[in-house]
Amino acid sequence: MFKLNLKIALRNLWKYKGYTAINVFGLSIGLASCILIFIFVRYQLSFDKDYVNGDRIYRVVTSWKYTDGNEFSSSGTPLPLPAVFRNDFSQFEKVAAIQQSGGIIKAKAQVGKAEVKDSESVFYAEPSFFEIFNYEWLSGNPNQSLSAPNTVVLSEKTANKYFGDWHKALGNSINLDASKDFKVTGVIKDNPQNSSFPLEIIFSYASFNDRNMKEWGSVSSGSECYVLLKNGVALSDLAKPLAQHLNKYENDKDAPGKVNHTFQPLEDIHHNEDYGNFAQKNTPYNQIIGLGIIGLFLLVTACINFVNLATAQAISRSKEVGVRKVMGSPRNQLIWQFLSETAIITIIALLLACVFAELTLPKMENLFGGDVSFSLFGHPIIFVFLFGLLVFVSFLAGLYPALIMSGFSPALAIKNKVAANAGGVGLRKTLVVVQFAITAILIVSTLVVIKQMSFIREKSLGFDTEAITIVDLPGDSLSQLKYNSFKEKLLAVNGIKTISFNAGAPSSGSNNETSFTYNSSKSADFQISVKSGDEEYFKTFGLTILAGKAFTKSDTTKEFVVNETLLKKLNIMKPEDAIGKIMKIWGSSGPIVGVVKDFNNYSLHEAIAPIAIFSRKTRYSTVAIKLDTKEVASAMKNIESTFNSTFPDYVYESNFLDENLKGFYETEQIMGTLFKVFASVVIFISFIGLFGLISFVATQRTKEIAIRKVLGASNLELVKMLNSSFLWMVLIANLVAWPVAYIFVSNWLSTFQYRTELNVWPFVIAMIASMGITVITVSLRSYRAAKVNTIDALKYE
């Protein structure tokens, strides 16, 4: 019996080749997209999941609440905190400090291997870090390898890079910043891609020194602290000891903000944008959910095609049903028969989908700039997912048609007298409306995303970004002595307009906030963002001075330039009024000599901060060079050779400012692209579904069309007639979609402090576009139906 049913199923699919093809194609494209989304989401959710004690690992993070209502948070802790926590908290099994830093790493030339020198991101970690996080050690172990000062543990990859083979690394040493040597005492296995801990070079924490080592009031986001809770300890158990701790150590009455610490679960680190992480990869849950919704949309649209075409076909299959019933086939057997037909189509579609997905995976990897490699069957869970898809789609798409068809009355069915709307014209219309509502929502969303992204690209940030290259500078005191001669040499290079030494561009990833005083001896009740740079800073970045002037040349802090936002926060009406007032920041006081027009110092997600700019040579870490756009290439070459001759022990690294700024929106860019692609897929599926449906309707109405023609209808009138019902559905779909789309996009836009105005156009365009494509799709097909030979259509009953 099963074999017979299978035969009938396959013959039926073959008989309606056109619809089968549309079904299978639409479904497989939808399924392929779902598979890609699944692979992506699985990857994102797999971050930091491989640690044995993962559910007991927490990061201690810090936040400040200011009296003006602002909040500020950091992934770091004060440097003395880890040791104190280890002592005072009985709830912790382990506490570990880890410090992120950077530097020039050099390994001496060896037999058969030249000297290797590179600028690297490095860490200082306590041995307990590796007791909290279980890494695979190829050689050494946490306590032996990381207890003593001047020891270092390398990842397999890095050890191979510096020593050719990691075995040779052991016992050898590497040099940091041309000053200190570190002995390699251990090698760990490479980190997987899905890790928030890109640990390649780990120095013992005992080698770490910082002037804030005893400071409670200063927090750097690179100084992180991890704790491993004892078994059975709940987060709520920590509230009391934490309050006691804050009271005892971090209760500075003079500080502008109120400090607090939070224990952030390990699994939250990859997804919480508030704090960031060492790997600088963040995928917030709402983006993952957004993709999941698109995936669901894809499935639903593809299934709707299926239901529509299957129920539309139901009438032509009524006779088969009638005969089967007369021969005694029970209803549930018929249901299974139709469901298995759907399952067969789904299996075919799934196989095709796997091929499509495999073909597009490299494209998805490109999105991540090659950082990630995806494979279709790399994780066995994909098979569970595929099976789930099969069951889900078979039931979603197959059950309703199966119920309809198996429910035909045999007497009517056998006479082919099943009413024309037996297949559920009403339901079919509803489904088309749902499908096109989804389509409209995605068109609106895609348009808004595109608009916002171009807004970001085009919005003036208040400073120049074009043809400015930022070159990293070595920060040790010896190198600082060479800054002036470096500048002299650069000024001789052709194509360089201005040069400014500074501690960061007007907008960059690193922002320093600190307390300050204005015209008083008391700290203001909010913090100020500080930028240090030399007197050329304003000219190089094209900042506009509104009142006063730029500060004069100085190596130390003597004068300040502030921005408009600061004045607003201090309730100063006229920029001129601020000139001459005395400020104190980082222990240096001096007059305000200029007010600069506001510029965006963060990404456009955030508002402009109050800012003070001043010179302080010891802080400079980069040099910004404004180039003549016509001579960029040659100038860059000369800059590099000048750098290498001036700082032979260091590694030249430069970035263009506009590229750096683009990096702020990397996640948005990736999500935006995924969004656009998958939205187009949904739109495509909807329209081939529409094409299938109109084809069916046209076939079904051939006779009616012919009669109307005999009675004098012109082709145009017939095309109009067939269009009108579909246009109504699409119109209603758009109206349904508008409020939903509005909620989606206004929510997304609200994550940007600076955003494009949300006007009616995306909605109108979505409507015009969807109705336009509907008219084209329906007209193409119905014109063919109208042209069909009238007599042939009328002759046969």
Partner 1 sequence: MIKIENLEKVYKTEEIETTALNGINLHVKAGEFVSIMGPSGCGKSTLLNVMGLLDKPESGSYKFIDTELLTLNDKERSNFRKRNMGFVFQNFNLIDELTVFENIELPLIYNKVPTVERKRLVNEIIGRMNIVNRSGHFPQQLSGGQQQRVAVARALVTKPKLVLADEPTGNLDSTHGNEVMELLCELNETGTTIVMVTHSSHDASFSNRIINLKDGHVISEKINKGKTEELI
Chain positions contacting partner 1, by CB under 8 A: 420, 703-704, 706-715, 717, 790-791, 794-795, 797
Count of Cβ atoms closer than 10 Å to residue 735 Cβ? 14
Question: What separation in angstroms does the CA of 379 have from each of 42, 366, 425, 432?
Answer: 9, 20, 43, 36
Task: Dump strand ranges (E) for 355-511.
Answer: 468-472, 496-502
Alpha-carbon dihedral angle through residues 312, 314, 319, 324, given to the nearest 10 degrees: 170
Nearer to partner 1, 660 or 779 (CB): 779
Classify residue 189 by its DSSP letter. P
What is the smallest separation between the CB atom of 721 and partner 1, expressed in angstroms?
A: 11
Nearest distance in Å: CB 682, partner 1: 32
Between 585 and 785, name the residue whose CB sits nearer to partner 1.
785
Q: Are strands 516-518 and 582-585 parallel, antiparallel or unpaired?
A: antiparallel
Measured from the CB atom, the residue of 71 and 704 that comes closer to partner 1 is: 704
Nearest to 786 by CA among 724, 711, 713: 713
Give backbone dihedrals phi and psi of 66, rounded to 5 degrees, phi first: -100, 160
Looking at beta carbons only, is 323 or 710 nearer to partner 1?
710
Question: What secondary structure letter does DSSP report for 569?
Answer: H
In the complex with partner 1, the residue whose CB is nearer, 112 or 712, is 712
Nearest to 412 by CA among 321, 314, 331: 321
**Residue-by-residue DSSP string for 323-351:** HHHHTT--HHHHHHHHHHHHHHHHHHHHH
Judged by beta carbon, residue 245 or residue 709, the one nearer partner 1 is: 709
What's the closest the beta carbon of residue 415 comes to partner 1, in angstroms? 11
> Cβ distance 70 to 152 under 8 Å?
no
CB of 341 to partner 1, least distance (A): 28
> What is the CB neighbour count within 10 angstroms for residue 645?
10
Least distance (Å) between residue 708 CB and partner 1 = 7
Give the contacts of 651 (CB within 8 A, at least 6 positions apart): 104, 117, 118, 119
The structure tokens listed for 697 are 């309707």
CB 509 within 8 A of CB 655: no
Q: Which of 420, 435, 442, 441 is nearest to 689 (CA)?
A: 435
Nearer to partner 1, 113 or 708 (CB): 708
Nearer of residues 286 and 416 to partner 1, judged by Cβ = 416
Instruction: Point out which residues pair with 176 in neighbouring strands.
Output: 105, 180
Spatial contact of 304 and 432, defined as CB atoms under 8 Å apart: yes
Closer to partner 1 at the Cβ: 389 or 718? 718
- Which has the closest alpha carbon to 627: 641, 638, 612, 614? 638
| Contact status, residue 626 vs residue 497, Cβ threshold 8 Å | yes
Residue 789 C-beta: closest distance to partner 1, Å: 8
Which backbone phi and psi does 185 adopt, to 5 degrees?
-115, -5
Closest residue by Cα to residue 454 from 668, 750, 286: 668
Give whichever of 136 and 797 is closer to partner 1, judged by the CB atom: 797
Q: How far apart are CA 740 and CA 747, in angstroms?
A: 11
Q: Which of 64, 65, 68 is nearest to 568 (CA)?
A: 68
Closest distance between partner 1 and the C-beta of residue 417, in Å? 8
Shortest reach from residue 776's CB to partner 1, in Å? 22
Q: In whole angstroms, what is the distance from residue 368 CA to residue 780 CA?
A: 40
**Please, which residue, 261 or 709, has the CB nearer to partner 1?**
709
Q: Which is nearer to partner 1, 254 or 797 (CB)?
A: 797
| 227, 92 Cβ separation under 8 angstroms | yes
